[in-house]
């Protein structure tokens, strides 16, 4: 085992199904790695202390706050970001429902909500409104007052129950 050191080290990360090899400083946040090293700027940084949820990504299919992880911790793991949610030009049912029901205004929190909601619906395909509200209560939105977001997640859940394969994204 080597001593902890600040010197850059190589990592290999699969993001949205594509392998990336980079050499990074140990203090580089996973969020900054995705945004600035890989150019995947759809993952947003709202607080850098794990409260707002805007930076949520899928880490081996689990939603995590990428601002609370270092890039080196992702070495050898799979990351899913908002850029991998649609299937080409075909939006994921959650994205479609957010669009149709205007579950967004400025769009800054949206990627975090979508990643969180995708994981939630995978575990709970037929949630109550209250369950949706609780599941989303770790993500902050300052524009919508959440009404349209909750409605969009419930609508997406309904559609996914009818066509479950539509929800398979890359990650």
Partner 1 sequence: MNVREFRHIGKEMTERPELRRFLSGQGRYIDDFALPHMLHAAVLRSPYAHAELKGLATAEARSLPGVAGIFTAADLGPAPQPIPVRLNPYATLDPYLQYPLAAGRIRYVGEPLALVVAASRAIAEDAAALIAIKATELPAATDALADPPAALFPEAPDNIACRFTDGFGDLGEAMQEAEEIVEFAFHTGRHSAVPLEARGLLAAFDPGRRRLDVFGFTKVPHFNRAVLARMLGLPERNLNIVVPDVGGGFGVRGEFYPEDFLIPFAAMRLGRPVKWIEDRLEHLMAANHSREQHYAIRLGLTRAGRLLGLEVQLVNDMGAYMRTHGVIVPELSAGMLPGPYRFTAYRCDVRAVMTNKTPTGTYRGPGRFECNAARERLLDVAAARIGIDPAEIRRRNFIPADAMPYRLGTHALGEEVIYDSGDYPAALADVLARSGYKANRHAAHVGGPRRGFGIGCFVEKTGKGPYEGARVALDPSGVIEVATGATSLGQGLETMLAKVVAEALFQPPERILVRSGETGLLQFGGGSFASRATVLAGNAAWQAAQELAGRLIGAAAGRLGTTSANLHLVPGAVAAADGNMVTLSELARGADPLGPELAVTVYFPAPHMAYAHGAVVASVEVDPALGRVLPLRLWVSYDVGTVINPDIVGAQIEGGAAQAIGGALLEAFVYDSAGQLQSGSLADYLLPVADFVPPISHHDLGRSPSPLNPLGVKGAGEAGLVGVGAALANAVADALGLPAAVDRLPMTPERVWRWAQAVKAAA
Q: Which of residues 133-152 bind partner 1 (CB under 8 A)?
A: 133-134, 136-150
Give CA 44 to chain center in angstroms: 9
Q: How far is the CB of 75 from partner 1 (least distance, A)?
A: 20
Q: How far is the CB of 139 from partner 1 (least distance, A)?
A: 7
Site membership for partner 1, residue 17 (CB under 8 A): no
- Its sign, for the CA torsion 113, 116, 119, 123, is negative
Q: Which of residues 53-72 bind partner 1 (CB under 8 A)?
A: 54
Q: Toward partner 1, which CB reaches closer, 130 or 162?
A: 130
Choose one: 7-15, 58-66, 82-90, 119-127; the region binding partner 1 (CB under 8 A): 82-90
Site membership for partner 1, residue 7 (CB under 8 A): no
Q: How far is the CB of 1 from partner 1 (least distance, A)?
A: 26
**Can you tell me the distance from the alpha carbon of 16 to that of 80, in angstroms, rounded to the nearest whole number?**
5
Q: Toward partner 1, which CB reaches closer, 13 or 80?
A: 80
Q: Toward partner 1, which CB reaches closer, 1 or 4?
A: 4
According to DSSP, the residues that pair with 62 across neighbouring strands are: 59
Residues that bind partner 1 (CB under 8 A): 25, 27, 35-36, 40-49, 51-52, 54, 81-83, 85-86, 91, 95, 98-102, 104-111, 114, 130, 132-134, 136-150
């Amino acid at each position: 085992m080597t001593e902890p050191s600040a010197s850059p080290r190589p990592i290999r990360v699969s993001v949205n199904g594509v392998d990336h090899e980079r050499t990074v400083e140990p203090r580089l946040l996973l969020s900054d790695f995705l945004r600035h090293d890989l150019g995947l700027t759809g993952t947003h940084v709202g607080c850098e202390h794990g409260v707002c949820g805007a930076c949520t990504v899928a880490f081996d299919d689990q939603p995590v706050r990428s601002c609370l992880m270092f890039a080196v911790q992702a070495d050898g793991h799979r990351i899913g970001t908002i850029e991998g949610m649609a299937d080409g030009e075909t939006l994921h049912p959650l994205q479609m429902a957010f669009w149709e029901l205007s579950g967004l205004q400025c769009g800054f929190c949206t990627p975090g909500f979508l990643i969180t909601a995708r994981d939630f619906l995978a575990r709970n395909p037929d949630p109550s409104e209250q369950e949706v509200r609780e599941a989303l209560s770790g993500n902050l939105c300052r524009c919508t007052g959440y009404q349209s977001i909750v409605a969009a997640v419930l609508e997406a859940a309904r559609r996914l129950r009818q066509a479950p394969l539509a929800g398979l994204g890359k990650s």
